[in-house]
Structure 1
Amino acid sequence: MSALRGLFAGELPQLVMFDLDGTLVDSVPDIATATDTMLTSLGVSAAGEAKVRGWVGNGAATLVARALKDAGLDADNQTTAMTLWRAAYTLCCTRQTRLYPGASELLAALQNAGCRLALTTNKPIQFARPLLEHLGINARFDWVLGGECVPEKKPAPHMLLEVMRDAGIGADASLMVGDSSADIGAARAAGVKVAAVTFGYDNGNPVAGLNPDLLVDGLVELLP
């Protein structure tokens, strides 16, 4: 029996909601480029990819705030910094971002098995959409929600609840797949099961300690 069927009494979930950064794609190289461009434009040193990797997962505004704090810059710089970051990321968001192994195969297999698929990401929708198109997976999703599409980003449950409501599918037949405390918190708040990948971004903290319903080292482990 597949790992997914094991969570749902031998059946597949009717609805699977995916996080993006750190779950389906490794986007840190491009995010780091934009962050470092922003920082140097503000007259401070670049942070580097290793640091930025630990700042991803709670949306662009939180990422920028963490970068400013690390650089010793006052929070009053947030608005200017966000403008700089968005401009930089617009130019580079598809340069080095890649799908994780098994991501494309998993989405195709779930869709072919009749599962409804949604993307529920804290990433701004203006970047999520072009990225999905560039990677050739946009058509896999029935819903794509970014951080600004709902009143509160994950770990609030708004994105998940909106998708389930629109799909007409209950929490008992839905699954969240993510990599961070934000994803697990949103799933718990929405009352849905959650599968977590071990290779993503969560401020450098092991996601295993958050006790997801299922923990996988690779996306192929979720194949139906």
Structure 2
Amino acid sequence: MFSLIGFTPKLVMCDLDGTLVDSAADIHHCLNLALDDLGLARVSQLQVRNWVGRGASRLVYCVLEAGQHPAGLHDGLLAGFMRHYQQAVCQFSRFYEGVPEFLKACRQAGIPLACVTNKPYAPAKGLLEALDCLDDFQLLVGGDTLPHKKPHPEPLQHCLRHFGTRPGEALMLGDSRNDVEAARAAGVPCVALPYGYNHGEPIEACEPTWIVPHLGVLLDRAPA
């Protein structure tokens, strides 16, 4: 595996939403339930897909800005969303193409995996558990685990320290500018996927190290 990028990493760090899992439908559903609770207008799934990826708090601010609602509603809407989402984190969420095979290949090759997401730790853990892949990851870093989240390099640097791995020996997998910029700041090569949540911006504009259509192409047996 990994012949496409020319080296076998000693650590693979993976973003979650938009990289491993298409989770927008669940986020959209639970966000609208929270809006219903407050008597506010619902939002579309397309809007949510453009807002996801910068953490739950930023997502809520986007909703309020789009609806021209007072910023003072933020904490109540955030709490409602998190309550609904924690109870229904994986009704509609599904792996993207090639992800189960990629995780299995890393596990068989003995390559450590870390999930590095801006999603809060509790729902991230719940989602991985629901998809029966939590045990594939030796480390999970949520958006509320450390003082900073992506695009700050701290989450990736934390993983490098945890596994005792040098930046050039690791690999970051992501779908957004947050992932690419965090990897660049940490000195880690980055494989980007074009199908995720990048706030309407083509992933090419972020200039990752590589772009692949799905993670299966990183496996030697998969056609490029």
What are the superposed Cα offsets for residues 64-115 of structure 1, whole Å, 9 maximum, x if unpaired?
1101111111111111111111111122211111111211110110121121
Give yes or no for contact 1:35–1:67 (8 Å, CA) kept in 2: no
Matched residue, 1:155: 151
Q: What do the CA deviations read for 1:116-162 (whole angstroms, capped 9, x no partner)?
A: 11000001111011111111111111111100111111000111101
What SS does the aligned partner of 2:102 have?
helix
SS at match of 1:54: helix
Q: Is the 8 A contact 1:179 1:198 kept in 2?
A: yes
Q: Distance in 2 between matches of 1:59 and 1:223?
A: 30
Other structure's SS at 2:13 match: strand
Q: Residue 140 of structure 2 aligns with which residue?
A: 144
1:115 is aligned to 2:111: yes
Q: For the residues of structure 2 that align with 1:191 and 1:117, how far apart are their CA atoms?
A: 18
Structure 1 residue 105 corresponds to structure 2 residue 101: yes
CA contact 1:33–1:92 (8 Å) conserved in 2: no
**1:16 matched to which residue of 2?**
12
* Structure 1 counterpart SS, 2:40: coil
Is residue 3–residue 219 contact of structure 2 (8 Å, CA) maintained in 1?
no
Give the match for residue 184 of structure 1. Answer: 180
Counterpart code for 2:167: A
2:107 and 2:166 map into 1 onto residues whose CA distance is 18
Does residue 82 (structure 1) correspond to residue 78 (structure 2)? The answer is: yes
**Whole-Å separation in 2 of the counterparts to 1:138 and 1:223:** 21
Query: Structure 1 vs Structure 2: percent identity of aligned residues?
Result: 38
Q: Distance in 2 between matches of 1:15 and 1:207?
A: 23
Question: How far apart, in 1, do the equivalents of 2:156 and 2:193 lie?
Answer: 18
Once the 2 structures are TM-superposed, how far is the Cα of residue 6 of structure 1 from its aligned partner?
4.4
Higher mean displacement: 172-181 or 42-51: 42-51
* Structure 1 unmatched ranges of 5 or more: none
Aligned 8 A contact 2:3 2:218 in 1: no
Q: Which is worse superposed, 35-44 or 11-20?
A: 35-44
Residue-pair matches, total:
220
Alignment partners' CA distance in 2, 1:93 and 1:110: 25
Q: Distance in 2 between matches of 1:162 and 1:217?
A: 28
2:3 alignment partner AA: R
Residues 25-48 of structure 1, C-alpha deviations (whole Å, 9 max, x = no match) = 000000001111122222221102
- Take 1:176 and 1:13, find their aligned partners in 2: how far apart are those partners? 10
Distance 1:59 1:164 in 2: 22
TM-score by length of 2: 0.95
Aligned-pair distance for 1:11? Answer: 2.8
User: Which of 48-57 and 15-24 deviates more?
Assistant: 48-57
The root-mean-square deviation of aligned C-alpha atoms, in Å, is 1.1
User: Which position in structure 1 is the counterpart of 2:3?
Assistant: 5
Runs in 1 of length 4+ with deviation above 4 angstroms? none
Instruction: Give the gaps of 5 or more residues in structure 2.
Output: none
Structure 1: how far apart are the matches of 2:149 and 2:27?
Answer: 19
Within 5 Å, which residues of 2 pair with 1:41-60? Answer: 41-60=37-56
- Secondary structure class of the residue paired with 1:212: coil
Answer yes or no: is the 8 Å Cα contact 2:98–2:214 preserved in 1.
yes
1:43 partner letter = G
Corresponding residue to 2:190 among 177, 187, 194 = 194
Could you tell me which amino acid in structure 2 is paired with residue 175 of structure 1? L
